[in-house]
């Protein structure tokens, strides 16, 4: 039932242990910056329509490592059994999915222990489609955040900040992973400096991307992951349909799994507008 080759690939790609441990230690400083305990929200929150920000997840959904991460085992079939039921063999970080703090930290929150108030939050969307079309390795910077705030006001208290890079609609094509001849990936992500700004100078609880990783595809060190997740914040990868939403004003509901010990997992993301 092991997804063929996946574990080996993971181990090969992420086994630079000394380096990773160094980065993890460096991230400890960021981890000491606390979240505001109770974001002040304008209430009541109102909405008129809903938008699904979740990609359908078939077994061949593209993955960071390139190997399938979902296998569906049929356990019962309506004819002759009278009902249908499956067992999933599923790597947590597949499809539109959460990265919980524990994914890149020694003792961060797992997916089941994130407070529910941090899963229903204002959504701010930073559109970098033009820049990403010019440069697939683009990283969202503090300047992009400043430009967004000039147009839309300060990032809402307790919000999720999403990058709309134009990658969402590419999910069915090779351009989604955009691997070069050496297997190196090329897609946009958040720069670690933007993550640091959102931790230290704003009250942001979640970071979302329409690509396969919070970091840009060519990242040698997952620095954005190591800056963001150990600080107690969550990430969301492979988000869909961001073009259907305004830059500010939507509320994001994060239907993440409540499996005890989960480092993340496929999630249903729903925007209320």
In the region spanning residues 25 to 44, those forming contacts with its own copies, defined by CB under 8 A, are 43-44
Binding-site size for its own copies (CB under 8 A) equals: 82
Catalytic residue among 97, 103, 191, 225: 103
Is 106 a binding residue for its own copies by CB under 8 A? The answer is yes
Quick one: tokens of 177?
A: 């992973």
Instruction: Rank residues 153 and 261 by Cβ distance to its own copies and give the closer one.
Output: 261
Q: Which residue has the tokens 């997804």?
A: 3
Closer residue to its own copies in complex, CB, 25/29: 25
Q: Annotated catalytic, 103?
A: yes
> What gap in Å lies between CA 47 and CA 241, rounded to an integer?
18
Comparison of 39 and 142: residue with beta carbon closer to its own copies: 39
Site stretch for its own copies (CB under 8 A), options 13-21, 166-174, 189-197, 208-216: 13-21
Ramachandran assignment for 87, one of left (phi > 0), alpha (psi -120 to 50 degrees), beta (any other): beta
Residue 134 Cβ vs its own copies, minimum distance, rounded to whole Å: 31
Binding residue for its own copies (CB under 8 A) from 24, 66, 142, 249?
24
Work out the burial of residue 97: count CB atoms within 10 Å of its CB; fewer than 13 is exposed, 13-18 middle, 19 or more buried: buried
Is residue 97 near its own copies by the rule CB under 8 A? no
Q: Are 90 and 257 in contact (CB under 8 A)?
A: no
* Cβ neighbours of residue 14 closer than 8 Å, sequence gap 6 or more: 20
Q: Which residues belong to the active site?
A: 103
């Amino acid at each position: 039932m092991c997804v063929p080759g996946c574990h080996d690939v993971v181990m090969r790609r992420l086994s630079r242990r000394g380096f990773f441990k160094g980065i993890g230690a460096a991230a400890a400083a960021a981890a000491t910056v606390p979240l505001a305990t109770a974001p002040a929200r304008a209430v009541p929150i109102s909405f008129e329509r809903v938008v699904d920000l979740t990609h359908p997840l078939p077994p061949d959904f593209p993955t960071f490592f390139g190997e399938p991460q979902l296998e569906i085992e049929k356990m019962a079939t309506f004819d002759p059994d009278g009902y249908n039921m499956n067992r999933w063999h599923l790597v947590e970080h597949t499809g539109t999915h959460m990265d919980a703090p524990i994914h890149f930290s020694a003792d961060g929150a797992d997916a089941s222990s994130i407070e529910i108030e941090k899963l229903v939050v204002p959504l701010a969307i930073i559109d970098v489609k033009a820049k990403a079309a010019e440069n697939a390795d683009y990283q969202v910077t503090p300047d992009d955040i400043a430009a967004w705030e000039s147009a839309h006001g300060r990032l809402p208290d307790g919000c999720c900040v999403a990058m709309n890079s134009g990658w969402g609609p590419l999910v069915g094509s090779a351009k989604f992973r955009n691997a070069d001849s050496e297997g190196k990936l090329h897609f946009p992500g958040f720069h670690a400096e933007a993550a640091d700004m959102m931790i230290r100078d704003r009250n942001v609880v979640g970071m979302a991307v329409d690509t396969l990783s919070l970091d840009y595809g060519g990242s040698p060190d997952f620095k954005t992951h190591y800056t963001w997740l150990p600080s107690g914040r969550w990430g969301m990868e492979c988000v869909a349909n961001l073009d259907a939403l305004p830059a500010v004003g939507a509320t994001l509901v994060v239907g993440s799994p409540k499996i005890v010990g989960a480092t993340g997992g496929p999630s249903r993301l729903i925007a209320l507008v």
